[in-house]
A and B are shown apart, each in its own frame.
Chain A
């Protein structure tokens, strides 16, 4: 699977990248929202993992941008320290498929990502 990870904190970004690469995924990393949207449009990843608070565009705006593009349905996992109910609900209303609050377990993230693999999605269909 090709996964785009948008996170402005470089250590978290590298940690998630390493975890996903160990699982055999192809990982595209971005450190700001604008770059993330541009790469989503260019590369059309299979899954997007995004933080909420980022430079230029927030996670919510990225969700909106992903859902607007009709070429492909891209699942989105939000990974954020902001766990307030209203923000979580807004993310789901905009179209997020999962929401993980920090502190998070990288191993748990790995398991959640597996649910969005093409094989798992096909099995559900």
Chain B
């Protein structure tokens, strides 16, 4: 039999098609074996989890109601002493503690935190921060943040400027969770971009209590990282802080569209006497979205002084600019929308359609 197989294998060399089939079948066999091995491994983990469920439930539920005289908790720990030395069980326990932590509030959360620390599960979470895989690093940060492990702040702070975006985002959110506004200190050193979504997440985590010191936002408004400048502008709007006006005006000089738009947004909400004039001066920036933002802002903060400028825009080649200018005139012109009927081109398109649309919108 072996000699037959050997001679068969020798023959394969002389038939290219057979060779390909042989390789294909071998690869398929390896794939099947790997799939089978992985399935068996997963099933083993799942069956372990089923076995561990009552033990984990007992440990966590007794920990939640721990008091010094409670023997139930000590008995539960003793009963599971061997299991608590297994890394896989410890990770399973951490996962269940995190789920429980999200569901409970009040003094029980402190008991759960003490339980987590007493079993040194925080060290298991901390070890993950040094893992090469980004998803494990992120999990470690999440676990430490949810379990309020403030003493690992330094290590998490370093990860706020990590190369992987998910790790960075998780670290940044954790710092803000721990320390509120003070947790944003990572903005001093960050060199990577901060996505729009991440900025929203960070703003959502900041409570409405104002920081005592706005000097740090001024510093961020002058950051070399343009994403930090954008976020600082959003903070300026978020806290509605009037004293940042001059620094925000300075942001109009950037070429970055998002910075300019966010600066216009702040100035629109915190206008001074010269704000409209500033907008008109900066109107020459060659971007339609920016021009529309300025025209929209002038509608809210402008006065009769801006009418001449708006009348000029009514003759811009772009109809969207015409519409925005017309809306501004409807608000600022002493005649209001009746001004449209006096306009030189009131009966010509596109002005006729534009004026009619604005009148209808106003009536609605």
Residue numbers of A with Cβ under 8 A of B are: 9-15, 17-19, 22, 81, 102-108
Contact = CB atoms under 8 A, between A and B. Distances in A.
Interface in B89-112: 96, 99-100, 102-108
A108 B65 contact: no
B62 interface: yes
A9 B107 contact: no
Contacts of B107: 105, 107
A18 B57 CA distance: 11
Contacts of A14: 57-58, 60-61
Contact of A22 (B58, B65, B105): B65
B65 A18 contact: yes
Interface of B: 53-54, 56-58, 60-62, 64-65, 96, 99-100, 102-108
A12 B150 CA distance: 26
Contacts of B105: 103-105
A54 B54 CA distance: 19
A81 B58 contact: no
Contacts of B60: 11, 14-15
Contacts of A19: 65
Contacts of A105: 104-108
A104 B105 CA distance: 5
A22 B100 CA distance: 19
Contacts, number: 57
B104 A103 contact: yes
Contacts of A81: 103
Given A104-B105, A107-B107, A11 B61 contact: yes
Contact of B100 (A12, A17, A18): A12
A104 B104 contact: yes
B116 to A, nearest CB: 14
Given A22-B65, A106-B65, A15 B100 contact: yes
8 contacts: A11-B100, A13-B57, A14-B61, A15-B65, A102-B102, A105-B105, A105-B106, A106-B65
Contact of A103 (B54, B56, B62, B102): B102
Contact of B56 (A11, A17, A106, A107): A11
Contacts of A102: 102-104
A106 B57 contact: no
A108 B100 contact: no
Contacts of A9: 99, 103
Contacts of A13: 57
A9 B100 CA distance: 9
B106 A106 contact: yes
A14 B104 CA distance: 13
A52 to B, nearest CB: 13
A15 B64 contact: yes
A18 B99 CA distance: 18
Contacts of A15: 60-61, 64-65, 100, 104
Most buried by A among B53, B54, B105: B105
Q: Which one of A10, A14, A22, A108 has the highest number of Cβ atoms from chain B below 10 Å of its Cβ?
A: A14
A30 B41 CA distance: 30
Nearest to A17: B61
A106 B56 CA distance: 18
B19 to A, nearest CB: 53
Contact of B53 (A10, A103, A107): A10
Given A11-B96, A11-B99, A18-B65, A106 B104 contact: yes
B70 to A, nearest CB: 10
Nearest to B104: A103
Nearest to B106: A105
Contact of B106 (A11, A18, A108): A108
Contacts of B54: 10
A18 B104 contact: no
B231 to A, nearest CB: 29
Given A14-B58, A18-B65, 16 more contacts: A9-B99, A9-B103, A10-B53, A10-B57, A11-B60, A12-B103, A13-B57, A15-B65, A15-B104, A81-B103, A103-B102, A103-B103, A104-B104, A104-B105, A107-B107, A107-B108
